[in-house]
Structure 1
Amino acid sequence: MGKTSTYTLVLSNDGTAPVDEVELSGTVPSNWKIEFNPKSIAAIAPGDKKEVQVLVTPADKAVAGDYMASFRANARGEQSSADFRITVTTSTLWGIAGIGIIAVALLVLLGAVARFGRR
């Protein structure tokens, strides 16, 4: 699997009544893993805020680029959601290895020209 990233979601209750039994869920691209910590919140008092950690692991074969993820909080008739853009990057190791191979090939070529020259 890809490298797991942690995001912090802040759930706030801007209403005048407590919000009970908040369940968290999310939608990510196929073969990705998503985990909430905590998965549910018993109650959020009016004017209060609660933090939730979201761990997102991209698929092992995910191509570098931007992906959409949607996170939802549901509580007895109330629902809120937010969409996020998650960027997957590739390791620079392969780029460095490619530059190294090209540099070695150029050195071999320059060495051959210097040794044998024009005849």
Structure 2
Amino acid sequence: TVPLQVKVTAKGKLIWAIGPDEKLSAKATAGKKTTITIYAANNGEGPIENVSFSTLSKPEEWTVEFDPKEIPYIEPKGYVPVEVTITPKGKAIAGDYRVQLQTSSAREGSDVLDYRIRVETSTSGLVIGVIVVVAVLAVLLGVFLVLRRR
């Protein structure tokens, strides 16, 4: 008989994950912060160390911030919540935009998540417009009533 030595190395698998009630999209208002929670998960059998986050693509003049910025360790089959704060530029046009988020580890590779952001414009412009229209109508009604009596 010959003795056989086997070396088994468990390896982690780094992925993005979303919660049970989460979607791969969110609503945002132009110029205002929107925070979403996603998870850096280890889908493998070994631990993952030194996990970092970055943005692969985003519209110009948008900001994307991660909290925490780095995770020192994720246990096998474990996950860590990551707060991602996305701020569309103040003059963003209403519509759908794509943001690509990346999580990576030097030893365990990386994963990319495509996230859709639906930007809605601020309603303050609409409110001001309605007030102006009502004021103009009130002035016209006043002029009409004054001239009608003559």
TM-score normalised by the chain length of structure 1? 0.86
Q: Which residue matches 1:9?
A: 38
Pair 1:18 & 2:52 matched: no
Q: Give the drift of 1:87.
A: 2.0
Q: Which residue matches 1:45?
A: 75
In the alignment of these two chains, the number of paired residues is 119
Structure 1: 4+ residue segments shifted above 4 A: none
Q: Which residue matches 1:30?
A: 60
Q: Whole-Å Cα distance in 2 between the matches of residues 71 and 41 of structure 1?
A: 15
Which residue type is aligned with residue 57 of structure 1?
Answer: T
**SS of match in other structure, 1:114:** helix
- Write out per-residue CA displacement over residues 27-51 of structure 1, whole angstroms, 9 at most, x where no aligned residue: 3211111111112212211111111
Q: Whole-Å Cα distance in 2 between the matches of residues 21 and 8 of structure 1?
A: 20
Which residue type is aligned with residue 81 of structure 1?
Answer: V
Pair 1:72 & 2:102 matched: yes
Which residue type is aligned with residue 36 of structure 2?
Answer: Y
**SS of match in other structure, 1:68:** strand
Which stretch shifts more, 33-42 or 109-118?
109-118
Pair 1:54 & 2:92 matched: no
Q: Give the drift of 1:118.
A: 8.9
Q: Which residue matches 1:85?
A: 116
Q: Whole-Å Cα distance in 1 between the matches of residues 90 and 131 of structure 2?
A: 26
Q: Whole-Å Cα distance in 2 between the matches of residues 59 and 92 of structure 1?
A: 16
TM-score normalised by the chain length of structure 2? 0.70
